[in-house]
Structure formats: structure tokens, C-alpha cells
């Protein structure tokens, strides 16, 4: 899947200290393959790769993020962009009922969506009515009635002698009905065909002209891949639409349709269906979809938090100390602990790391109390001890232990851990251990 592919790309970057132009090229190539395999339309892939490359090249070396995280961040932001950026809400009529017309191929999921949308609007306090303007298939009206009943909303269906067989007339009459019966929203279900078809387009355009909808939602099955783009273009020119609904996202992990349709038609994806039941439905959020496509779980949240928390000035200072080797003190160690604390409970933090699953048990032992105890021990030290931990001999350890209410062995283990950490940081300076470092003296 796209997620797996992208994950491989990011893993390859993990050990890097800095991205070279060759790294960026190689990464872009991998992302390109991943997108093409996910059935994203070629022009969209090209545009996407160009944007990512440009940003990765121009990006300042980040102090808070390592190169892999930086690329993830850029790819994520570009994905959100291509998916439409902001979440787009329904537009309502200024006077009279708001009309939403559904269009799309047969089997795309229009009738199912009609029920979901009606229920969604009803839950928000609206009084929607469903309109059966699909008179193509014998069972279509009946299907909508079942859907309406399940959603607990009214259905306007052709009555004998009232425009039977004429979907345009039914649609037109439904607006009158809505006004009379005080429905503030009208959802018009229309007939699709199995493929793009001039008759279908003409009928849909006639219905559109008859009801003057505020929104025309193009409903498309996310599983059809590349075909989604062709279909979308045909509906765009044949009927026109103001928004897209992706259906059957439960069966599609590739995300290709989602990425292409928005960008090819210029219209936002507004809703997503991910199952046959009424509740398998949500407003479409570009950021959530991007994160789903990336498959990075909460890694993105972690990146955000790291960036927000990391103070650029502190980083500068820290980098200088590390570059000079043994100048990293217990005082700095304390600063770092506090920075970690500011990022929230450590359990959350560790849980966000991908693949943290098997480490859970080990991590469960590192709790916030542990961090706080460590901070307390350091606070019981004198300034001289914090600056130069080597002077912390036996009697000093006993005094520190008494001062902070811990055992001498706890002080010992902290001091050991500090020297271990310092050794590691010096080794990783310029790598991903501590962001912002460089290799000058390491
Ligand atoms: P229409 O011809 O566009 O009105 O499509 P329908 O609403 O009749 O849906 C066609 C088929 O797709 C039905 O069997 C639905 O139950 C199914 N379906 C619709 N939406 C979804 C969805 O989001 N996920 C899944 N798995 N099936 C769906
Ligand atoms: Mg239908």
C-alpha cells in the first residue's frame, strides 16, 4: 500500500544527519513510485513531487526535527494541500430550502449516501426530505424509501398521476412539497448509469436546472482508482459539481482517487463513506486523510509537539556545548528533562512512536514520576556539582540523596545515566540524537 511504501522511504532517511540533493532525489523517486502504484493520476503525481522537492531543498535545517521527520512533515503538508487544505462545509440557501443534488455512476453509493447525509443533517437539527428522482431502475424508489425509513427522515416519491416516469418533474415538485411541509433541506437522489452516458448527463443537467441546488455532490467509489478521474471530468463538464463524496473508503487503502479527484477537478472532497451502515460516514478532513495515507499514526502529532516545544535558542546553546564535547552539564540535562515534560505525559509520547508496541513493557517503567524524581535529585545538587558532575563523590552523593529523599543508589544511577547520555550525545552530534548539532568537534 501507499503507506507501506512511504514508510520504507522514511525509514531509509532515519539515520541521516542532513539531506543531500541526492537523498532528496532518491526520496522523490520513491514517493513517485508509491503514488503511481496507488493509482494517483500522473499530472497530480508530477505536481506533488515538484512541490515536495522544492520544499525539501529550500527548507532550512530544522533544529527540532531530524531529516526523516522533516520530509514526513513536508509530505504530510503537501498531501493536505492536495486533498484540499481546509475542511469545506455545506453551503446553505439564504431563503427557502437548501437543495443538495447527488450525481454519479450507478453503484457509486448515491442512494446509500442520501440516507447518511439525511441522518447527519437531522442530527444537526435540520428537517431534510429525500427525493426519489431515480426512476431508471424499477427498485430505485423502493430502495430510497427503505433508506429514508432507516434514517428516520421523510421521502418524497412520485405519486400515481404526479409525474410518474419523469424525474425532472418529481424533482421540481419536491421543492414545492418541501416548502409546504417545512423541510429546510432537500436531498435529491438521481439515476446513474454503469458508464459515462450522454442521456444520464442530460437528465442530471435538467434536474439541476429544475431545482437550482446550492450543492451538487459528485459521488464516486474510491475503489475505482484512475477511472475516478475520467468520471469526475465527465461529470464536471456534463453537470458540474460543487463538491465530491468519496465512498467505499473502507475497501480502499490506496487513497489514489482521493488524491486525484480534488486536484483534477478543483472541487473539494466534502464527505467520506466507509461502510454500508448509516453511521459509516463522516465529514471529510484533509488532514486526517493525509495522515491515514501516510500511515504514520500519531508520529505527526509527535513531530508537531516536538517542534512546538523545542526552543530554538536553547537548541543553539545546546549544539554549541555538544560540539565542545564535555561541556554538557547536569543543568542542561535538567533542561532537557523539563523540555520532555512539557511535551506531555511521557507515556503518550512513547506511545506515539511507530513500532513502539514491543517496547511497551520496557517503556511502562519510565514514568513521569521517574522523570520528576530525576529532576528533584538534580535540584538538590549545588551549582558546582551540576556544572562538573565528576566532583560528585561519596559524601556528596549521600547529601544529595538525603536532600531529595531518595536512596544513594538512585543518585548513583542518575549520575551513571548522565555520563552515558553525554557519551551517546557526543557520538550522535550531527546525527539525529540531538537536533541542531553539527560535526565540528565531535
Ligand atoms: P447508487 O447506485 O449510486 O445509488 O449506489 P447505492 O447507494 O445503491 O450503493 C451501491 C452498493 O454499494 C450498495 O450495495 C451499497 O450497500 C454499497 N455501498 C455504498 N456505500 C458504501 C461504502 O461506503 N462502503 C461499502 N463497503 N459499501 C457501500
Ligand atoms: Mg441509487
Q: Has residue 64 got a pLDDT over 60? A: yes
Determine what percent of the chain falls in helix, strand and coil, rounding each to the nearest 5: 60, 10, 30
CA of 29 to the centre of ligand 2 (A): 41
What pLDDT was estimated at residue 326? 63
Among candidates 194, 186, 267, which has minimal Cα distance to 227?
194
Ligand nearest to the CA of 141: 2
Give CA 295 to chain center in angstroms: 9
pTM, whole model, 2 decimals?
Answer: 0.69
Contacts 24+ apart (CB under 8 A), 316-319: 316/63, 316/436, 318/434, 318/436, 318/437, 319/63, 319/429, 319/434, 319/436, 319/437, 319/438
Q: Has residue 398 got a pLDDT over 80? A: yes
Q: Has residue 36 got a pLDDT over 80? A: yes
How does residue 25 score in pLDDT terms, banded at 50, 70 and 90? confident
Q: Which residue has the higher pLDDT, 342 or 328?
A: 328
Q: Has residue 5 got a pLDDT over 80? A: no
For 95-104, 215-224, 317-326, which range has the lowest pLDDT when averaged over its residues?
Answer: 317-326
Q: Has residue 105 got a pLDDT over 60? A: yes
Contacts 24+ apart (CB under 8 A), 398-402: 401/377
Q: Which residue has the higher pLDDT, 168 or 61?
A: 168
What pLDDT was estimated at residue 442? 30
How far apart (Å, rounded) are the C-alpha atoms in residues 107 and 38?
22
Query: Considering Cα of 48, then 49, then 51, then 52, what sign does the dihedral take?
Result: positive
How far apart (Å, rounded) are the C-alpha atoms in residues 437 and 319?
5
CATH superfamily, domain at 98-284: P-loop containing nucleotide triphosphate hydrolases (3.40.50.300)
The alpha-helical segments, DSSP class H, found in 310-407 are 312-323, 330-342, 346-352, 360-364, 368-379, 383-387, 394-404
Which DSSP helix (H) or strand (E) runs through 382?
Answer: none
**Average pLDDT score over the chain:** 81
CA of 114 to the centre of ligand 1 (A): 11
- Check if 30 has its Cβ closer than 6 Å to any atom of ligand 1: no
- Check if 381 has its Cβ closer than 6 Å to any atom of ligand 1: no
- Check if 7 has its Cβ closer than 6 Å to any atom of ligand 1: no
For ligand 1, atom 19, name the residue with the nearest CA. 109
Which tens digit of pLDDT belongs to each residue from 130-174?
Answer: 999 999 887 899 999 999 999 999 999 987 655 467 999 999 999
Q: Which residues, at least 6 apart from 48, have a Cβ–Cβ distance to it below 8 Å?
A: 31, 35, 40, 78, 82, 259
CA of 412 to the centre of ligand 1 (A): 65
How far apart (Å, rounded) are the C-alpha atoms in residues 217 and 269?
9
User: What cell was used for 388?
Assistant: 562538573
CA of 17 to the centre of ligand 1 (A): 48
Q: What's the CATH number of domain 311-428, 3.30.9.10, 3.40.50.300, 1.10.10.10, 1.10.260.30?
A: 1.10.260.30
How far apart (Å, rounded) are the C-alpha atoms in residues 25 and 20?
9
CB 172 within 8 A of CB 226: no
How far apart (Å, rounded) are the C-alpha atoms in residues 381 and 414?
12
Ligand 1 atom closest to the Cα of residue 114 is: 7
Q: Give me the residue spans of the domains in the chain.
A: 2-82, 98-284, 311-428
Same fold, 2-82 and 311-428: no
- Check if 130 has its Cβ closer than 6 Å to any atom of ligand 1: no
User: Could you tell which of 110, 112, 284 is best to mutate to test the pocket of ligand 1, judged by most ligand atoms within 8 Å of the CB?
Assistant: 112
Topology of domain 2-82, CATH:
1.20.120
The full 3-state SS of 166-205, as one line of letters, equals: CHHHHHHHHHHHHHHCCCCEEEEEECCCCCCCHHHHHHHH
- Check if 262 has its Cβ closer than 6 Å to any atom of ligand 1: no
Amino acid at each position: 500500500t501507499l503507506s507501506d511504501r512511504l514508510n520504507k522511504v522514511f525509514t531509509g532517511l532515519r539515520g541521516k544527519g542532513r539531506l543531500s540533493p541526492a537523498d532528496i532525489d532518491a526520496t522523490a523517486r520513491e514517493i513517485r513510485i508509491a503514488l503511481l502504484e496507488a493509482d494517483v493520476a500522473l499530472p497530480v503525481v508530477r505536481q506533488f513531487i515538484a512541490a515536495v522537492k522544492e520544499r525539501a531543498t529550500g527548507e532550512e535545517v530544522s533544529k527540532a526535527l531530524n531529516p526523516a521527520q522533516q520530509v514526513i512533515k513536508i509530505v504530510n503538508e503537501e498531501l493536505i494541500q492536495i486533498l484540499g487544505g481546509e475542511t469545506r462545509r455545506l453551503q446553505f440557501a439564504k431563503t427557502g430550502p437548501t437543495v443538495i443534488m447527488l450525481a454519479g455512476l450507478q453503484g457509486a453509493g448515491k442512494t446509500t449516501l442520501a440516507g447518511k447525509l439525511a441522518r447527519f443533517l437531522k442530527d444537526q437539527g435540520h428537517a431534510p426530505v429525500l427525493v426519489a428522482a431515480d426512476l431508471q431502475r424499477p427498485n430505485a424508489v423502493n430502495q430510497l424509501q427503505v433508506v429514508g425509513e432507516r434514517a428516520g427522515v421523510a421521502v418524497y416519491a412520485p405519486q400515481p398521476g404526479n409525474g410518474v416516469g419523469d424525474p425532472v418533474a418529481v424533482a421540481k415538485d419536491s421543492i414545492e412539497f418541501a416548502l409546504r411541509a417545512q423541510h429546510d433541506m432537500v436531498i435529491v437522489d438521481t439515476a446513474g448509469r454503469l458508464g459515462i452516458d450522454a442521456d444520464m448527463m442530460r437528465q442530471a443537467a435538467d434536474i439541476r436546472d429544475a431545482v437550482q441546488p446550492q450543492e451538487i455532490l459528485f459521488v464516486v467509489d474510491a475503489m475505482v482508482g484512475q477511472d475516478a478521474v475520467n468520471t469526475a471530468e465527465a461529470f464536471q463538464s456534463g453537470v458540474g459539481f460543487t463538491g465530491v463524496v468519496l465512498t467505499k473508503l473502507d475497501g480502499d487503502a490506496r487513497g489514489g482517487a482521493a488524491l486525484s479527484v480534488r486536484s483534477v477537478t478543483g472541487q473539494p472532497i466534502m464527505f467520506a463513506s466507509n461502510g454500508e451502515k448509516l453511521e459509516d460516514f463522516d465529514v471529510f478532513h484533509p488532514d486526517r486523510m493525509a495522515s491515514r495515507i501516510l500511515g504514520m499514526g500519531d508520529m505527526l502529532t509527535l513531530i508537531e509537539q516536538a517542534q512546538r516545544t523545542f526552543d530554538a535558542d536553547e537548541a543553539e546553546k545546546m549544539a554549541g556545548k555538544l560540539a565542545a564535547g564535555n561541556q554538557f552539564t547536569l543543568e542542561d540535562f535538567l533542561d532537557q528533562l523539563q523540555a520532555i515534560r512539557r511535551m506531555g505525559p511521557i507515556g503518550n509520547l512513547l506511545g506515539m512512536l511507530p513500532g513502539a508496541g514491543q517496547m511497551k513493557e520496557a517503556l511502562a517503567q519510565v514514568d513521569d514520576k521517574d522523570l520528576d524524581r530525576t529532576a528533584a535529585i538534580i535540584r538538590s545538587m549545588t551549582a558546582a556539582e551540576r556544572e562538573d558532575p565528576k566532583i560528585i563523590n561519596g559524601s556528596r552523593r549521600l547529601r544529595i540523596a538525603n536532600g531529595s529523599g531518595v536512596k544513594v543508589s538512585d543518585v548513583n544511577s542518575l549520575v551513571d545515566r548522565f555520563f552515558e547520555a553525554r557519551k551517546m550525545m557526543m557520538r550522535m552530534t550531527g546525527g539525529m540524537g540531538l537536533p541542531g548539532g553539527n560535526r565540528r568537534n565531535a
